[in-house]
Amino acid sequence: MLIYKQTDNKLVPIREKKVGLEKTLQNLVEANLGDVFGFTFVASEFPLNNLRIDTLAFDEEAKAFVVIEYKRDKNFTVIDQGYAYLALLLNNKADFVLEYNEKTKKNLRKDNIDWSQSRVMFVAQSFTKYQQEAIGFQDLPIELWEVKKYDEDLVSFNQILSGCLGRLSSIPLKTTLNLVGVRLRNYLMSFPSKFWSLTLVLRYTPLSIILGLTLRIKML
């Protein structure tokens, strides 16, 4: 996206800058979470079951938790990591409610949360075409947000909206099996030295897809 500064009747382009370290981006988002996304900040670097959530937030309007992850490395798969964090959330609801109540000094009850609206947001300076196309399904609870920094201390946030491929749960089983096979092959080819990650892929992503479900169904 091109941004210009108007001087009289002339437009002067404003140069884009590198965002910097993940921690720098994280601090920026957490300090402005309410203004940018309308969320309530809950916790930073929240550890649970050998995973660590960069930013845990709560959407007061949707009554749902939001997991926010920051990325500089483009060699990651948004589906695999997204489902891993969603599974962590849905399998440990009490821990998240307790963290919310302790940090915000409120008394939120588990029954007052709409778990079907839980989602994961990835925030980065840019995403690959493969990552953008991976979130094209209508019922996928994963969002991609690009953040850009410019001269004169300007910052922009833009949600990546991929072309809609329909609802994931409406795709025939045979087709979903083929999609899973391709995803696993591409994943392993991209990470030949990280076969341990296959555990997450097998445990979280294919299971919900092969059964013709999404984590939105599991949230109920």
Spans of all domains in the chain: 4-166
Annotate 162-192 with b (16+ C-beta within 10 A) or e (fewer): beeeeebbebeeeebeeebeebbeebeeebe
**pLDDT tens for residues 42-83?**
999 999 999 999 999 999 999 999 999 998 777 677 888 898
Tell me what pLDDT residue 214 has.
40
pLDDT of residue 23: 87
**pLDDT on residue 76:** 72
Q: What is the mean pLDDT of the chain?
A: 78
Q: Helix (H, G, I), strand (E, B), or coil: what is residue 186?
A: helix
Task: Using the CB atoms, write b or e for 23-61: b if 16+ within 10 Å.
Answer: eebbebbbeebeeebebbbbbeebebeeeebbbbbbbee
At 219 the pLDDT is 46
The CA distance from 220 to 215, in Å, is 9
Closest CA to 142 of 200, 82, 56: 82
**Vertex 44 angle, CA 148 and 74, to 5°:** 40
Which class is 4-166 in CATH? alpha beta
pLDDT, one tens digit for every residue, the chain (220 residues): 678 888 888 998 888 888 777 888 899 999 999 999 999 999 999 999 999 999 999 999 999 999 999 987 776 778 888 989 999 999 999 999 999 999 999 999 999 999 999 999 999 988 888 888 888 776 789 999 999 888 888 899 999 886 555 555 554 444 444 554 555 455 445 544 444 444 444 444 444 343 334 444 444 4
* CA dihedral of 109, 213, 197, 44, whole degrees rounded to 10: -20
- Give residue 65's pLDDT: 98
**Length of the chain, please?**
220
Residue 3 neighbours by CB distance under 10 Å: 15
